[in-house]
Structure 1
Amino acid sequence: MASDESHDAAPDLRILGDSITLQPSGYVEPEVKDDEALMKHMARFRSEPLRFLREVSLYVSGTGWRAYDSVIGQPIFYSGFSEHIKSQIMSAPLLETKIAQLADMRVAVEEKEGLLNTSDKEFVAKRAHRRSELIQGLREVSEKLTDNMICKFESKPFIRGAYYLVTQLLLRAYHQGIHVSSEEVLRLRAVAEEAEKKNQSIIFLPCHRSHVDYVSMQLLCYRLGLALPVVVAGDNLNFPLVGSFLQHAGAMYIRRSFGDDQLYTTLVQSYIDVLLRGGYNFECFIEGGRSRTGKLLPPKFGILNFVLDSLLSGRVDDAIICPVSTQYDKVIETEGYVTELLGVPKKKENLADFLSGGSSVLSLRLGRVDVRFHEPWSLRGFINEHLTKMASVPSSINVDWTDMKSQVLRQKLLRTLGYKVLGDINAVSVVMPTALIGTVLLTLRGRGVGRTELARRVEWLTARVRAKGGRVAHFGDAPLSEVIERGLDVLGKDLVGVVEGLAEPTYYAVDRFQLSFYRNMTIHLFISEALVAAALYTRVKQGGGPAVQDIPYKDLADQVLFLSSLFRGEFIYSGEGLAHNLEKTLLGLEADNVILIERDERGNIAKLGLSDAERAAGRENFDFYCFLIWPFIEASWLAAVSLVGLSPPLGQDGDIWLQVSKAQDSAQLLGKTLYHQGDLSYFEAVNKETLKNSYQRFAEEGILQIVKSKDSRVPPRLRIAPEWRPARDPETGSLIASGRLWDFTEKIASSRREGKNRRDGATVSTRVLSLTDALGRQLFEDAVRAEEEGKGKGGGAPARLSREEKRLLDLSVREQKRRRRLEGRAHL
Structure 2
Amino acid sequence: MLPDRLLRLLRLKSLTVAQSVDETDALLSTDEMLRATVQLASHLGRDVADVRAEITDYMREMTATHVPSVVRAWQAWSAWMVRGFQIVIDDDELSTLRELDRENALIFLISHRSYLDQFSFPLRLAQGGISPTFGLAGANLNFFPLGTLARRNGFIPLRRSTGDIPVYRLALRALVGQMVASGHNLAWSIEGGRTRSGKLRPPRYGLLRYVTDAVESSGSQQIVAVPVSILFDQLPLHEVKLMTAESRGLPKKPENIRWLLSYARGLRYRLGRIYIDFGPPVPLHDRMAALRAEGLSGRQVVERVALEICHRINQTTPVTATAAVCVAVLGEDRALTLGEVCATVAPLAGYLRARGWPVAGGADLTDRATVSQTLHDLVGSGVLTCYSGGPKTVWGIGNDQHLIAGVYRNSAIHVLVMRAIAELALLTVVRTPGATKRMGWEKALAVRELLKFDFFFAARAEFADELWDEFAIISGRSHDPSAPLDAEDAARSLHETDLLVAHLVLRPFVDAYRVAAEELVNLGPRRDIDERELLTRCLRLGRQWALQRRITEESVSGEMFATAVKMARHRGLIGPDAEAGDIADRRAALAAELDELQRSIGELARMRRDLEAE
Question: Are 1:702 and 2:572 matched, yes or no?
Answer: yes
Matched positions, count: 595
Give 1:750's aligned amino acid: E
SS of the residue corresponding to residue 404 of structure 2 reads helix
Shift of 1:95: 2.7
What amino acid does structure 2 have at the position aligned with 1:466?
R
Aligned: 1:463 with 2:400:
no
Deviation at 1:330, TM superposition (A): 0.8
Gaps of 5+ in 2: 603-614
1:241 aligns with 2:145: yes
Contact 1:272 1:306 in 2 (8 A): yes
Structure 2 match to 1:685: 555
- Alpha-carbon offset, residue 105 of structure 1: 6.4
Query: 1:152·1:247 contact (CA, 8 Å) conserved in 2?
Result: yes
Determine the C-alpha separation between the residues in 2 that align with 1:555 and 1:435: 33
CA shift, 1:755, in A, is 11
C-alpha distance in 1 between matches for 2:162 and 2:201: 21
How far residue 558 of structure 1 moved from its aligned partner, in angstroms, is 2.7
Paired residue for 2:487? 607
Give 5+ residue unaligned stretches, structure 1.
1-17, 19-63, 111-133, 196-200, 391-400, 402-408, 540-545, 649-653, 708-719, 727-738, 757-828
1:652-667 equivalences in 2 (<5 Å): 657-667=528-538
What's the counterpart of residue 77 of structure 1?
A: 14
Partner of 1:404: none
1:335 maps to a residue whose letter is K
The aligned counterpart of 2:278 is 373
The C-alpha deviation readout for 1:598-652, integer Å capped at 9, x for no partner, is: x99x942233566558647xx8622x3332111111111211121111224xxxx
Question: Could you tell me how far 1:484 is from its partner in structure 2?
Answer: 2.9
Q: 1:564 to 1:478 in 2, by over 3 A?
A: closer
Q: Which residue does 1:573 correspond to in 2?
A: 457
Question: Does the 8 Å CA contact 2:81/2:119 hold for their aligned counterparts?
Answer: no
| Preserved CA contact (<8 Å) 1:94 1:270 | no
Residue 640 of structure 1 corresponds to 517
Matches within 5 A, 1:140-159: 140-153=53-66, 155-159=67-71
Of 73, 82, 85, 1:161 maps to 73
Partner-residue secondary structure (3-state), 2:65: coil
Whole-angstrom CA distance in 2 between matches of 1:584 and 1:211: 38
> By how many angstroms is 1:219 displaced?
0.2
Matched, 1:276 2:180: yes
Q: Among residues 621, 631, 635, which one is paired with 2:499 in the alignment?
A: 621
Which 10-residue stretch deviates more, 486-495 or 692-701?
486-495
Q: Which moved more, 1:577-586 or 1:381-390?
A: 577-586
Q: Percent identity?
A: 21
Residue 225 (1) aligns with residue 110 (2): no
Whole-angstrom distance in 1 between the partners of 2:16 and 2:175: 19
Aligned equivalents of 1:613, 1:273: Cα separation in 2: 54
Which residue of 2 is the match for residue 338 of structure 1?
Answer: 244
* Correspondence 1:674 to 2:552: no
Map 1:318-717 → 2, pairs under 5 A: 318-332=222-236, 333-361=239-267, 363-390=268-295, 409-443=297-331, 445=332, 447-474=334-361, 480-493=367-380, 494-510=382-398, 511-536=401-426, 552-575=436-459, 576-591=461-476, 603-607=483-487, 611=491, 615=495, 621-622=499-500, 624-648=501-525, 657-678=528-549, 680-705=550-575
Q: State the shift of 1:580 in Å.
A: 3.1
Displacement of 1:563 in angstroms is 1.1
Q: CA-to-partner distance for each residue in 1:368-407, whole Å, 9 max, x for gaps?
A: 10001122231001011112222xxxxxxxxxx6xxxxxx
Deviation at 1:552, TM superposition (A): 4.3
Determine if the alignment matches structure 1 residue 187 to structure 2 residue 115. no
In structure 2, the CA distance between the partners of 1:571 and 1:755, relative to structure 1 (3 Å rule), is closer
> Deviation at 1:297?
0.9
**1:190 Cα deviation after fit:** 1.0
User: Contact 2:428–2:439 at 8 Å: present in 1 too?
Assistant: no
Give the Cα–Cα distance (whole angstroms) in 2 for the partners of residues 478 and 468 of structure 1. 15
Report the Cα distance in structure 2 between the residues aligned to 1:152 and 1:457, rounded to whole angstroms: 50
Give the 3 Å change call, closer, same or farther, for CA 446–138 of structure 1 in structure 2: closer
User: Is the 2:323–2:408 contact (alpha carbons within 8 Å) kept by the matching residues of 1?
Assistant: yes
Distance in structure 1 (CA, Å) of the matches to 2:551 and 2:365? 38
Q: List per-residue Cα deviations over 1:573-619 (Å, max 9, x = no partner).
A: 233344333323222211179xxx9x99x942233566558647xx8
Given that 2:423 and 2:494 are in contact with CA atoms closer than 8 Å, whether structure 1 keeps it comes out as: no
Distance change in 2, residues 1:529/1:249 (3 Å)? same
* Residue 560 of structure 1: how far off its partner (Å): 1.9
2:610 corresponds in structure 1 to: none
CA distance in 2 between counterparts of 1:183 and 1:531 reads: 35
Match of 1:306 among 204, 207, 210: 210
TM-score, normalised via structure 2 length: 0.89
What is the aligned partner in structure 2 of residue 170 from structure 1? 82
2 CA distance for matches of 1:722 and 1:531?
33
Distance 1:183 1:440, change over 3 A: same
Q: 2 CA distance for matches of 1:572 and 1:613? A: 26
> Matches of 2:590 and 2:506 in 1, distance apart?
18
Please name the residue that 2:611 is paired with.
none
Decide which moves more: 259-268 or 281-290: 259-268
Q: How many angstroms does 1:68 deviate by? A: 2.8
- Counterpart CA distance in 2 for 1:76 and 1:722 is 59
